């Protein structure tokens, strides 16, 4: 089974690329983030023509997550149980489903904006709620993984130049401790470093030629439990999908499993 995660940065804008990538990559289960559409506008029919079922959680222009699968789609949970609101709104940032005997969560962790911004405190609360939500599944016998855009670089080498991030979000101790607490439920990073590149980044800003200069960040992660990790045969960042006309600013992260 091939499972992937991809912050698509607007599924409406990038639908042709998504459909072409699904056909060429052989992906069975794809966790999507930042779909930027409500459930009614999600292109479920186009995906169905390729053999994929869709589970969608979205409410409009911002955020939005989905799981698309050609390996079955069961026990769907939309939203983060016990998750905090931001400015009175429960944002669509998490969705879970069981696909072919593998339980996955597609998550889009809040950005945090700035360390002294209310969104940063919201981000930390959201991560605590995520930990509590996934804790019961992590030690179980079923292969289980949390995949998505975590908006956190786990280590200094996961950003192109740590000196450029002084005082910024995504690399703070509190955020990294929250990731560590999530892993302590029984999860581990199943994408090894290094991969084909010394710095296997997953995100590059559109500005200032960041992608050609490889000024990126590794913030799209796959955290799996022990049965999931033992089944992994390969993992890679599909940097080619960040190239060309009209790409997302994130690249897909792909994991192959032998179940």
pLDDT in tens, 18-30: 999 999 999 999 9
- Say if residue 209 is exposed, middle or buried (CB neighbours under 10 Å; 0-12, 13-18, 19+): exposed
| Region label for 36, one of left (φ > 0), alpha (ψ between -120 and 50) or beta (otherwise) | left
- At 229-254, the pLDDT tens digits run 999 999 999 999 999 999 999 999 99
- What integer pLDDT is reported at residue 130 of this predicted model? 98
With CA atoms as reference, report the closest residue to 250 among 2, 41, 14: 14
Say yes or no: domain 2-257 is CATH 2.30.40.10: no
pLDDT tens digits for range 165-177: 999 999 999 999 9
Question: pLDDT by residue (tens digit) across 85-143?
Answer: 999 999 999 999 999 999 999 999 999 999 999 999 999 999 999 999 999 999 989 99
């Amino acid at each position: 089974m091939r499972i992937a995660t991809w912050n698509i940065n607007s599924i409406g804008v990038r639908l042709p690329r998504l459909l072409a990538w699904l056909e060429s990559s052989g992906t069975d289960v794809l966790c999507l983030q930042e779909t930027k559409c409500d459930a009614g506008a999600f292109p479920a029919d186009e995906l169905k023509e390729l053999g994929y079922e869709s589970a969608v959680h979205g409410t409009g222009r911002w955020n939005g997550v989905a799981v698309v699968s050609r390996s079955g789609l069961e026990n769907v949970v939309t939203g983060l149980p016990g998750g905090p609101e931001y400015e009175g709104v429960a944002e669509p940032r998490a969705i879970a489903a069981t696909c072919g005997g593998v339980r996955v969560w597609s998550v889009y962790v809040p950005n945090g904006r700035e360390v002294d911004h209310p969104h940063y405190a919201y981000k930390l609360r959201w991560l605590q709620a995520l930990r509590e939500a996934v804790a019961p599944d992590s030690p179980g016998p079923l292969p289980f993984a949390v995949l998505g855009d975590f908006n956190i670089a786990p280590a200094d080498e996961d950003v192109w130049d740590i000196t450029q991030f002084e005082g910024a979000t995504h690399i703070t101790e509190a955020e990294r401790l929250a990731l560590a607490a999530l892993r302590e439920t029984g999860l581990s990073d199943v994408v090894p470093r290094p991969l084909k590149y010394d710095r296997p980044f997953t995100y590059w800003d559109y500005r200032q030629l960041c992608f050609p200069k490889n000024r990126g960040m590794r913030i799209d992660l796959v955290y799996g439990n022990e049965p999931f990790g033992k089944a992994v045969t390969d993992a890679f960042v599909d940097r080619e999908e960040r190239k060309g006309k009209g790409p997302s600013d994130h690249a897909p992260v792909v994991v192959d499993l032998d179940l």
